[in-house]
């Protein structure tokens, strides 16, 4: 009798969860959501829950550094429709949560555990570690309650339905760029396991570029996994979530979190025995919001696996570029991890699942923590690595910022110098700021440089700019081809002329006035970017033969 009663209770509980999930799905269908089913367990969509979160986030003015939404017509529609509700309690509580550490991926984790608007309620458990980032369970529950109230009072689903054509367009464009099903198949083969479902959620105003890998428990004991992704670039009436290569890397990376993170959680105690490895890279990791060793471990493992998938699926050259890129971001343990993963790949009969190989990962971290790695382990050879991100010293200790003194427009020059001072205070507080004339007198071979000014307005740049394979004219920038615009800007990385192992970041433009706030242009992963205002016209990498860099034709 007891066994029957227990079975009945379990059945009712499971039926309730299933019914809730089914009801949530029905709510989406009723809303006419922009969802493309790639196959039975893979979808690309704009999800009402994530759009609701995006609206709340915008009204609260909460954005990760460098990830304020692009100024699009859709963003204007959001403001026009929801701005009068800025004082709603849901907005106030979200601001409290966000500024207390419930940020980055945490809100997205919460949203996929909820039912669809307008009836916002829990239909799944929130991951324990994510939940602990909230101020308290009381505050989190209050936020969910107020979120439902906000959804009803604003008639959120009316707004969502009104923009369905826009959502349909961006989901169709995204899916057309690559074979997403194949990308998922590559992941499942590598990890030796599958998940319940794979969901790519396009979030046009949640953040710029990159994404969040989040998950929810599924009834079959696996996870429903999500890649919540922001756009790479946007104009007023257009938005781009990346090309095939960008989509590939992000799908592999964000879905990998749902394979790797749970395994790391099971091995948390041992992993944290080697937390001394965090200290040498702490500054670089914190700047990217990886504020503890366990999170840092997950990022290293996932980035190493993504690099190895690049080797297996693309080319050895692309693999080496991927490893160099990760090292440029401060992920110096990626390289030894990649070497270790080759052992996993060569012994799949022994290691049928990645989880079976994980003890080898912990053994590697144990070994690294016992060795004196020395300072050279944590320094990139810039001429080999390239990219704007790699040009700046990861620790920031060697950076010098160089200002212009020879701009024709003296008013624009004065404003630019004020901006440079603010830039230095915000990003590189320890970095000395030198005038171009002073910089030309100094030995800078041990420094990474950040240079602002037009090619003629900055004297240091005037001396060195002709080596860069780009031409400026009155209204165009010529690189692989000619680019025209009203506010043309150019950002590039280049080897330090006094020491190619060190890098230079150059922020320049046709007009001095267009250099102010140039860091708002999306840049970093590539060697160069051409933009018209904030709109990226092209980005790419140079062809590198030692220190001889040229534009790929």
- The three state secondary structure string of 171-232 is HHHHHHCCCHHHHHHHHHHHHCCCCCEEEEEECCCCCCCCEEEEEEECCCCCEEEEEEECCC
- Span 495-520, average pLDDT: 92
Question: Which string of b and e fits 164-187 if b means at least 16 CB within 10 Å?
Answer: eebbbebbeebbebbebeebbeeb
CA–CA dist 66, 272 (Å, integer): 30
- Span 181-191, average pLDDT: 96
- What pLDDT band is residue 543 in, cutting at 50, 70 and 90? confident
Whether pLDDT at 375 is above 80? no
The owner of tokens 């800078």 is 444
Q: Which of 152, 132, 123, 160 is nearest to 19 (CA)?
A: 123
**What does the pLDDT read at residue 32?**
47
**What does the pLDDT read at residue 23?**
39
Under 8 Å CB-to-CB from 263, ≥6 apart: which residues?
A: 354, 355, 358
- Span 410-435, average pLDDT: 93
**What does the pLDDT read at residue 170?**
95
CA–CA dist 101, 108 (Å, integer): 14
Q: Which of 167, 194, 193, 195 is nearest to 44 (CA)?
A: 167
Whether pLDDT at 6 is above 50? no
The owner of tokens 């922001």 is 230
Under 8 Å CB-to-CB from 399, ≥6 apart: which residues?
A: 392, 393, 428, 430, 431, 447, 448, 449, 450
**What does the pLDDT read at residue 407?**
96
Residue 80 burial (CB < 10 Å; 0-12/13-18/19+)? exposed
**What does the pLDDT read at residue 18?**
37
pTM summary value? 0.74
Q: Which of 369, 200, 203 is nearest to 281 (CA)?
A: 369
pLDDT tens digits along 16-40 = 333 333 333 434 444 445 677 666 6
CA–CA dist 167, 31 (Å, integer): 12
CA–CA dist 105, 90 (Å, integer): 18
Mean pLDDT for the chain?
89
CA–CA dist 87, 91 (Å, integer): 7
pLDDT tens digits along 417-427 = 999 999 999 88
């Amino acid at each position: 009798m007891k066994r029957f009663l227990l079975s009945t209770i379990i059945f009712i509980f499971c039926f309730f969860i299933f019914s809730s999930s089914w009801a949530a799905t029905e709510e989406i269908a009723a809303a006419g959501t922009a969802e493309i089913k790639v196959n039975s367990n893979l979808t690309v969509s704009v999800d009402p829950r994530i759009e609701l979160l995006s609206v709340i986030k915008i009204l609260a003015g909460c954005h990760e550094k460098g990830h304020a939404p692009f100024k699009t017509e859709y963003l204007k529609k959001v403001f026009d429709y929801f701005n009068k509700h800025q004082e709603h309690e849901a907005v106030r509580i979200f601001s409290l949560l966000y500024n207390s550490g419930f940020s980055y991926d945490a809100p997205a984790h919460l949203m996929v555990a909820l039912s669809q608007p307008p009836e916002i309620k829990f239909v799944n458990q929130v991951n324990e570690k994510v939940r602990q980032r909230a101020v308290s369970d009381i505050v989190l529950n209050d936020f969910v309650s107020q979120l439902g109230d906000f959804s009803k009072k604003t008639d959120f689903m009316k707004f969502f339905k009104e923009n369905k054509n826009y959502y349909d367009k961006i989901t169709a464009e995204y899916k057309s760029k690559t074979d997403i099903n194949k990308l998922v198949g590559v992941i499942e083969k590598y990890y030796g396991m599958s998940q319940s479902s794979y969901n790519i959620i396009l979030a046009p105003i949640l953040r710029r570029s990159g994404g969040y890998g989040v998950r929810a428990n599924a009834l079959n004991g696996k996870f429903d996994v999500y890649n919540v992704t922001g756009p790479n670039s946007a104009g007023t009436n257009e938005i781009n979530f990346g090309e095939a290569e960008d989509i590939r890397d992000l799908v592999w990376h964000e879905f990998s979190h749902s394979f790797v993170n749970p395994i790391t959680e099971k091995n948390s105690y041992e992993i944290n025995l080697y937390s001394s490895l965090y200290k040498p890279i702490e500054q670089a990791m914190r700047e990217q919001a990886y504020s503890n060793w366990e999170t840092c471990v997950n990022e290293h493992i996932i980035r190493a696996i993504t690099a190895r998938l690049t080797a297996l699926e693309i080319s050895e050259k692309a693999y080496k570029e991927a490893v160099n890129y990760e090292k440029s971001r401060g992920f110096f343990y990626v390289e030894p991890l990649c070497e270790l993963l080759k052992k996993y790949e060569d012994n799949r009969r022994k290691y049928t699942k990645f989880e079976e190989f994980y003890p080898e990962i912990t053994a590697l971290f144990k070994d690294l923590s016992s060795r004196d790695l020395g300072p050279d382990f944590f320094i990139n050879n810039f001429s080999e690595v390239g990219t704007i991100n790699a040009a700046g010293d990861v620790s920031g200790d060697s950076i010098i910022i160089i200002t212009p003194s020879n701009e024709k427009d003296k008013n624009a020059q004065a404003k630019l110098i004020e901006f440079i001072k603010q830039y230095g205070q915000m990003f590189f507080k320890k970095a000395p700021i030198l005038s171009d004339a002073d910089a030309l007198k100094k030995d800078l071979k041990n420094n990474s440089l950040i240079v602002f000014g037009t090619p003629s307005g900055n004297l240091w740049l005037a001396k060195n700019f002709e080596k860069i394979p780009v031409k400026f004219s009155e209204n165009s920038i010529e690189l692989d081809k000619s680019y025209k615009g009203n506010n043309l800007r150019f950002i590039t990385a280049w080897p330090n002329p006094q020491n190619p192992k060190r890098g230079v970041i150059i922020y320049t433009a046709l007009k001095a006035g267009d250099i102010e706030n140039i860091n708002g242009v999306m840049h970093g992963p590539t060697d160069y970017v051409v933009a018209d205002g904030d709109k990226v016209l092209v980005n790419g990498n140079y062809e590198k033969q030692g220190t001889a860099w040229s534009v790929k034709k």
